[in-house]
Chain A
């Protein structure tokens, strides 16, 4: 079935002209038309632009000028500016903003000949773990429509899980790729900070934000990352290093014990209080599978992990409060209809344009940066951030990758945590430290837990690698996906649409 094909398979079919990009794109668009009104994964579609790109891709294929992703329809998180496309960050503030330029990620995919299928829903300015802070409404988890897809990349997550696109992009500031990957059952990778340029990606917390692929498999993620990664002089934090082929090791992940010699670190803090029993069971089974693949298990400790959430909720809001100052109603974005003076224009425009969670974080951020509080909050948090990073440096002396859960539980019900921000923040218990340290992390489907209604809910296994060790992580994910089929499963109800 085409919608379940891997990127490699789709690429081969396009290259051999078994199918055209226009046909493939139209098939996905049709599926989007059917399912999106329910799932709400996409917030902006532009069929004309999309088909124009598909035609251009077909022309490139006909001319023999194409790569692995040429002609493949991808969903783009609405955090990336795409020239001529409405780019909202799921905020009323940018409801009518048409980006006049392309983000680095978008232009990389354009150059590769991929097709932009549409812009996906997300938590407003990427602030949230359930996609419920979106101005454009929540997103349904394809496995159970009563439940959230996770966030902030909830739209891209649901689009991949429901097979509304071949693959998607996301961004991850505290877990926004990995937690939804876990809750929706697909493979999502947050690369090392600095690997993918942030240019044109609307900033939430600049020192933590990182774009990455969201796709069905590790192999698909590797193909996506090949396009996304690379030095960009427009982002001063982009790392200037030689380009890698992230698929280079995948072919060796077959046969007996392909992971022989691999040391997997299990941090005791990831299996302590806070982890639900059904998730723990799935993770343990997955670890057992890794032993069969030849890996060796090492017990490690990340002693400062419990500080990662408080540290994150000082640093990320601090940066956000400043990053979001540009939305002042002066040059673009929402401006209040009526005001008497400048002060009132600012206040009304921002009061009307931002949602509650965004306001909460602007307030926290403004507070922690204020004179008299800066040392106690921001500076202290920066010091602890270094300790958290140091924990990982220590850990990687004893292991090659770290594994654990990506989220403490399976997908929760919509509305369940919206009134309790701290409970919501705890969703990122296992992901945030990775952002604080700037390390790469990914989540792969590792099985299912049954929820109360008898519906299966996906569970993700998190793989954390050392800096710029994405290729190894993808190998490790791919090896597992050669002997399991969790990543090929999709919600039964959506299979025959």
Chain B
């Protein structure tokens, strides 16, 4: 039987606000335990929550970015359960009426072994505001568990998709796209190691061609795209094998173990909590007006979709190039900066996605950390355009820039990479090459086209690569008649 996997994601995005979701305590990561836990964070008797307006703006930004319905009135609810790192015994979240309703995110799924790259629209069900819990710290003191409430109350936006993904690759493409988007609009730092972006993945399988969804298992807290891919692939295979062996799938929450590459059940549905959601009487309904949306929109950067369209129309880039250049705001900003500093757009696109991207990947650097500035790259492109250097020489200059050897012209000078465009000098080289390679000349004259290219090669070699190849071609052709 052919199986189809059905995947939906719930992503907890930690919002970049100065203070917590419902109190003034700081949200800075990595402080000494419990030093960022005010009376509200530790839920002393009598304390009350006050909604962080900045987090609401983040939610509105996200809603606008995915073209979603933003609720004019949404409700905060209490999700009740006992856990030592949940100080109030309930989490303030949104249940029936979330701030962000249905929206859409378009993903680019890269080519696989047997598949072409393609685009797909993933439907977003909702996104709601809530607060994070603290952390349990085990065995910091031997045999004891400690509670660190620094994170308790940190603002989160939980983004839920429809079960629209049909492969691990699609799920990862969605997660990456979302990861880029929340950073693009400046609502999340995207730091997955610190838990700023955490994905829960719902996986089920069904016979291909059937409609009814299979029973799902939820893989909790995946904090890297690599693990997400591994976990979904393992889980999908496990579910298929279980069903093919005549077994059934029980709804469960599961964890992925990166060391073994396996998933394992944490708790079954029977053990699941009844969260007894009800509207939080301490908070008024959250109201978002058209004016609020207008104000937030004015504050937002150009979105990737809009920028892509602009890149194709304004710079005549291909859809593929435009999409790649808008994969992150930093890349797009870098590209625009190169163009604005006078670099040719098509060349800039090739260099940013080619040499620069390869070098960054090799050294695990982000665009923001690139040793070659946009201005430097633009200067380099100008020297190619005005025929000062050849494309090959430009690569050497780029290496020089990367290594911090100075500015473009100085490197060209120091390495002696200036292209020879003086007709007299090139003619002299050609004359020497022709004299030394009579046999090739004969071959060419006898009709062997390949011999011409060999002669060009010889001329370039004799010029140590500095001769302008177009000129060499032209002059050689005329000399050979």
Q: Which residues of A contact B (CB under 8 A)?
A: 80-81, 87, 89, 94, 97, 99-101, 103, 198-203, 205-207, 233-237, 318-319, 321-322, 324-326, 328, 330-332, 342, 346, 366, 369-371, 374, 378
17 extra interchain contacts, Cβ-Cβ under 8 A, other than A319-B281, A331-B147, A370-B274? A81-B45, A89-B45, A99-B45, A103-B46, A203-B282, A234-B48, A235-B50, A322-B90, A322-B276, A325-B82, A325-B90, A328-B89, A331-B42, A346-B82, A369-B80, A369-B277, A369-B278
A202 CB contacts on chain B under 8 angstroms? 45-46
Nearest opposing residue in chain A for B79, CB measure: A322
Asked if B469 is at the interface (CB within 8 A of a chain A CB), the reply is no
Indicate whether A94 sits within 8 Å of B45 (C-beta atoms), given known contacts A206-B281, A322-B78.
yes
- Asked whether, in the complex, the Cβ of B278 is within 8 Å of the Cβ of A237, the reply is no
Report the Cα distance A346→B78, complex, angstroms.
20
Report the Cα distance A408→B87, complex, angstroms.
41
Report the Cα distance A101→B48, complex, angstroms.
13
Report the Cα distance A366→B81, complex, angstroms.
11
Report the Cα distance A198→B48, complex, angstroms.
8
Report the Cα distance A199→B51, complex, angstroms.
14
B213 CB contacts on chain A under 8 angstroms? none
Give A233 Cβ to nearest chain B Cβ, in Å: 7
B44 CB contacts on chain A under 8 angstroms? 81, 99-101, 332
Give A258 Cβ to nearest chain B Cβ, in Å: 39
Asked if B39 is at the interface (CB within 8 A of a chain A CB), the reply is yes
Nearest opposing residue in chain B for A206, CB measure: B281
- Asked whether, in the complex, the Cβ of A199 is within 8 Å of the Cβ of B42, the reply is no
- Asked whether, in the complex, the Cβ of A322 is within 8 Å of the Cβ of B89, the reply is yes
- Asked whether, in the complex, the Cβ of A326 is within 8 Å of the Cβ of B43, the reply is yes
Give B271 Cβ to nearest chain A Cβ, in Å: 12
Asked if B126 is at the interface (CB within 8 A of a chain A CB), the reply is no
Nearest opposing residue in chain A for B43, CB measure: A326
Nearest opposing residue in chain B for A207, CB measure: B281
- Asked whether, in the complex, the Cβ of B45 is within 8 Å of the Cβ of A97, the reply is yes
Asked if B49 is at the interface (CB within 8 A of a chain A CB), the reply is yes
Report the Cα distance A202→B48, complex, angstroms.
10
Asked if B284 is at the interface (CB within 8 A of a chain A CB), the reply is yes
Q: Which residues of B contact A (CB under 8 A)?
A: 39, 42-51, 78, 80, 82, 84, 87-90, 147, 274, 276-278, 281-284
- From the candidates B84, B274, B278, B282, name the one contacting A318 in the complex (CB within 8 A): B278
Dominant secondary structure of chain A at its interface with chain B:
loop
Indicate whether A237 sits within 8 Å of B45 (C-beta atoms), given known contacts A322-B80, A325-B88, A326-B89.
no
Indicate whether A325 sits within 8 Å of B89 (C-beta atoms), given known contacts A330-B147, A370-B276.
yes
- From the candidates B47, B51, B90, name the one contacting A200 in the complex (CB within 8 A): B47
Report the Cα distance A47→B71, complex, angstroms.
54
Which 10 residue pairs across A and B have the least CB separation, nearest first?
A325-B89, A207-B281, A369-B276, A206-B281, A200-B46, A202-B45, A326-B43, A81-B46, A202-B46, A371-B274
A203 CB contacts on chain B under 8 angstroms? 45-46, 282
B50 CB contacts on chain A under 8 angstroms? 233-236
Give B151 Cβ to nearest chain A Cβ, in Å: 15
- From the candidates B45, B47, B80, B84, name the one contacting A342 in the complex (CB within 8 A): B84
Report the Cα distance A398→B44, complex, angstroms.
45
- Asked whether, in the complex, the Cβ of A236 is within 8 Å of the Cβ of B147, the reply is no
B87 CB contacts on chain A under 8 angstroms? 326, 330-331
Most buried by A among B80, B90, B282: B282
A205 CB contacts on chain B under 8 angstroms? 281
- Asked whether, in the complex, the Cβ of B80 is within 8 Å of the Cβ of A199, the reply is no
- Asked whether, in the complex, the Cβ of A378 is within 8 Å of the Cβ of B283, the reply is no
Listed A/B pairs (12) with beta-carbon separation below 8 Å: A81-B44, A100-B39, A202-B46, A236-B49, A236-B284, A325-B90, A326-B88, A331-B42, A332-B44, A369-B80, A369-B278, A374-B278
Report the Cα distance A488→B425, complex, angstroms.
119
B80 CB contacts on chain A under 8 angstroms? 321-322, 325, 369
Give B364 Cβ to nearest chain A Cβ, in Å: 41
B42 CB contacts on chain A under 8 angstroms? 331
A237 CB contacts on chain B under 8 angstroms? 281-282, 284
B46 CB contacts on chain A under 8 angstroms? 80-81, 99, 103, 198-203
